[in-house]
A and B are shown apart, each in its own frame.
Chain A
Amino acid sequence: MTSTDGALAGPQQYLRAQQRWRAIEIVFWLSLLLPFVVTPNYLVLASQVAITALFALSLDLILGYAGIVSLGHAAFFGFGAYTAGILSKHGWGEPLTGLLISGFAAGLLGYLMSFIIARFRHLALIMITLGFGFLLLELANSLGWLTGGADGLQGVKTWPLLGMFKFDLWGVTSYWYSLIVLFILFLVCRRLINSPFGLSLRGIRENAVRMRAVGAESRAHLQKIYTISAAIAGIAGALLTQTTDTVSLGVLNFERSADVLVILILGGAGRLYGGIIGAIIFLVARDQFSGINPQYWYFPIGVLLVVVVLFLPNGILGGLAQIVESERWQRWTANLTPWRKKP
């Protein structure tokens, strides 16, 4: 951030530089198009990755930014998934409006929950979110007439996207659809975290007591971000319904809440991209390992999780950022790229 005379940049300049799109980000998003050409047989998996990444992104907003732990985030994912499924079963299979309605429904549920959530922290919060997740799962299980219970929801049929693109067996439409929705909501989240509101969320994560002492409306902030996060999780769930035309109780179970937490921690919480990176690693690893040994695929994930938490407390992305920001790396790349002026 130093200019030629060694003086510091002004605050406006500095903040603008912080929020600027980096080349690596653009490369990253473009690389997400590669599956279409490189691994066209894996587009179904790729859309699962995009959906899971979106789910992880929603968790990142509350966990990575506001510091609210949740072990029951699948509640919102599942609520969105069932909303989209039930809509479709009862005759409205239009994907885009289905997505919006599902997101709205999950957001509403999140808003109601937020009155409780915003009052607690730490262990109490883990227990409440966990309990809430169980509650919703049991509810879906017992309301068989609505949800299909343990058999799953039958008769979900999603109409072609924009009336033109049918959801095909190879997942071409699914991946386009999931990827575009992921990208749009990513843009929304990116804007959010760069806003004054986003700054206050980080303040809550860093020091809730000090937030009170600067007169911050922390509770209102927490309720707002919880609602937004729930809505995005619901949209992710609805995407899953629409791209697979099935909904089962699995969308609500504890494993899904735990997985998304693992994904976010692996990738790196509080960095927006962590959930996406984590989802890629997690789902590709599951796909590969479960081919070898379907029962024990959590073993390598467990090892990876322990290693990451031990050696890269800020996740894989945090570790990479640390390397890139290190002086040694800067010197090394400066040597490699002679067109870049050495300091």
Chain B
Amino acid sequence: MSTPALSTRGLNKNFGSLVVASDIEIELPQGVRYALIGPNGAGKTTLINLMTGMLKPDGGQIQLGGEEITALGPEARVRRGLVRTFQINSLFPHLNPLEAVTLAVCERQEVSRTWWKPITAYSAEVDEAYGILKTLMLAQVCYRQTRELAYGQQRLLEIALALATRPKVLLLDEPAAGVPRDESAELFAAVTNLSQDITVLFIEHDMDFVFRFASRIIVMVGGRILVEGTPDEISADPRVREVYLGSAHHG
């Protein structure tokens, strides 16, 4: 069997007495589409924070393509191909999309160290950034400040910034969060069109999309993995039904 793109072993995290990650074991094979679902507060975002190094686990290990990365900082993990987006927009409000994505491309290419050459000298990087924006339908607004963009466009820019780093494993934290249902199609299309070379783990509450797009689904509740399986297995699982139908509060 080939090495998984990303795996965690015995990952634990508490916030005080609140257990947000308990013995998390995940293995993402290369190129899969995994969905991570569960009620609000289940610890899904926390798990992404742990995987990407934005939070330190209390215990456990994380491996990226077989390499031990538990001790690495977030930047080093991104450089190795483990990249995330944010549930709550985390963008550069006063940069325009072209500048923001070019910035990310330049950081990846390590040309951000040069301060004596103008950005216009890096046409390959600029073109790449523009290309990414174009595929995400942001080319038309790419000279406008990010803070002036429509909310849905900002959600697309979240993905654009992640793509600029050329991820091997992409963790999408509710890509369509806050976007009205009838406008979320563009975002789901963006996720669907991601290159097959990228291993994708995405958190999403829209079950139609989850069942359509994911090859496997992980259900998290109260900091634990409740069950993992194919969409069919998950939809037939009585425990999952209980979590989703038994509690009035899910989102």
Chain A residues close to B by CB (< 8 Å)? 1, 8-12, 14-16, 19, 191-192, 194-200, 202-203, 206-207, 209-210, 212-218, 220-221, 224, 228
Give the complex CA separation of A216 and B74 in angstroms: 10
CB distance from B69 to the nearest CB of A (A): 13
Give the complex CA separation of A92 and B130 in angstroms: 54
Contact mask for chain B residues 99-137; partner A; CB cutoff 8 A; 1 contact, 0 none: 110111011101111111111101101110110000000
In the complex, B84 has a CB within 8 A of chain A: yes
CB distance from B210 to the nearest CB of A (A): 24
Most chain B beta carbons < 10 A, residue from A8, A194, A216, A218: A216
Contacts A1-B143, A11-B142, A203-B103; A215 near B115 (Cβ below 8 A): no
Chain B residues near A206: list those with CB within 8 A.
91-95
Contact mask for chain B residues 69-106; partner A; CB cutoff 8 A; 1 contact, 0 none: 00001111011000110100011111100111011101
Closest to A13 in B: B120
In the complex, B52 has a CB within 8 A of chain A: yes
In the complex, B54 has a CB within 8 A of chain A: yes
User: B106: which of A15, A192, A199, A209 is its contact (CB, 8 Å)?
Assistant: A199
In the complex, B61 has a CB within 8 A of chain A: no
Chain B residues near A9: list those with CB within 8 A.
143
CB distance from B94 to the nearest CB of A (A): 6
In the complex, B165 has a CB within 8 A of chain A: yes
Most chain B beta carbons < 10 A, residue from A10, A200, A224: A200
CB distance from B102 to the nearest CB of A (A): 7
Contact, CB under 8 Å: B115 / A192? yes
Give the complex CA separation of A207 and B86 in angstroms: 13
Contact, CB under 8 Å: A11 / B130? yes
Contact, CB under 8 Å: A19 / B118? yes
Contact, CB under 8 Å: B107 / A195? no
Contacts A210-B91, A212-B74; A217 near B107 (Cβ below 8 A): yes
CB distance from B156 to the nearest CB of A (A): 15
Known pairs A215-B75, A217-B107 / 6 extra A-B pairs, C-beta < 8 Å: A8-B140, A16-B120, A195-B118, A200-B106, A215-B165, A220-B113
Contact, CB under 8 Å: B126 / A15? yes
User: A217: which of B112, B117, B118 is its contact (CB, 8 Å)?
Assistant: B112
Contacts A8-B140, A202-B92, A203-B103; A213 near B113 (Cβ below 8 A): no
Contact, CB under 8 Å: B90 / A210? yes
* 9 smallest beta-carbon distances between A and B, as pairs: A215-B78, A197-B115, A206-B92, A196-B106, A214-B104, A11-B130, A200-B112, A212-B74, A216-B107
Contact, CB under 8 Å: A199 / B102? yes
Chain A residues near B102: list those with CB within 8 A.
196, 199
Chain B residues near A11: list those with CB within 8 A.
98, 126-127, 129-130, 142
Contact, CB under 8 Å: B52 / A213? yes
Give the complex CA separation of A54 and B90 in angstroms: 34
CB distance from B139 to the nearest CB of A (A): 7
Chain A residues near B74: list those with CB within 8 A.
212-213
> Which DSSP category, helix, strand, loop or mixed, fits chain B's interface?
helix
Chain B residues near A200: list those with CB within 8 A.
103, 106-107, 112
Chain B residues near A194: list those with CB within 8 A.
118-120
Contact, CB under 8 Å: A213 / B115? no
Contacts A192-B115, A195-B115, A210-B91; A217 near B100 (Cβ below 8 A): no
Most chain B beta carbons < 10 A, residue from A12, A15, A209, A224: A15
Contact, CB under 8 Å: B95 / A197? no
Chain B residues near A15: list those with CB within 8 A.
98, 119-120, 126
Chain B residues near A10: list those with CB within 8 A.
130
Contact, CB under 8 Å: B120 / A217? no
In the complex, B161 has a CB within 8 A of chain A: yes
Contact, CB under 8 Å: B114 / A199? no
In the complex, B20 has a CB within 8 A of chain A: no
Chain B residues near A214: list those with CB within 8 A.
78, 83, 103-104, 107-108, 161-162, 164-165
Chain B residues near A198: list those with CB within 8 A.
115, 119
Contact, CB under 8 Å: B114 / A196? yes
Contacts A203-B92, A213-B86; A191 near B116 (Cβ below 8 A): yes
CB distance from B101 to the nearest CB of A (A): 9
CB distance from B112 to the nearest CB of A (A): 4
Give the complex CA separation of A213 and B49 in angstroms: 11
Give the complex CA separation of A209 and B53 in angstroms: 12
User: B107: which of A202, A207, A215 is its contact (CB, 8 Å)?
Assistant: A215
Give the complex CA separation of A228 and B113 in angstroms: 13
Contact, CB under 8 Å: A195 / B119? yes
Give the complex CA separation of A209 and B91 in angstroms: 9
Give the complex CA separation of A43 and B33 in angstroms: 70
Contact, CB under 8 Å: B78 / A195? no
CB distance from A304 to the nearest CB of B (A): 25
Contact, CB under 8 Å: A213 / B83? yes
Chain A residues near B100: list those with CB within 8 A.
203
Closest to A199 in B: B103
Contact, CB under 8 Å: B118 / A215? no
Give the complex CA separation of A163 and B64 in angstroms: 64
Closest to A220 in B: B113
- Give 29 CB contacts A-B under 8 Å: A8-B143, A9-B143, A11-B130, A14-B143, A19-B118, A19-B119, A191-B118, A195-B116, A195-B118, A196-B103, A196-B115, A196-B117, A199-B99, A199-B103, A200-B106, A202-B94, A207-B91, A210-B86, A213-B74, A214-B103, A214-B107, A215-B76, A215-B104, A216-B75, A216-B103, A217-B110, A217-B112, A217-B113, A220-B113
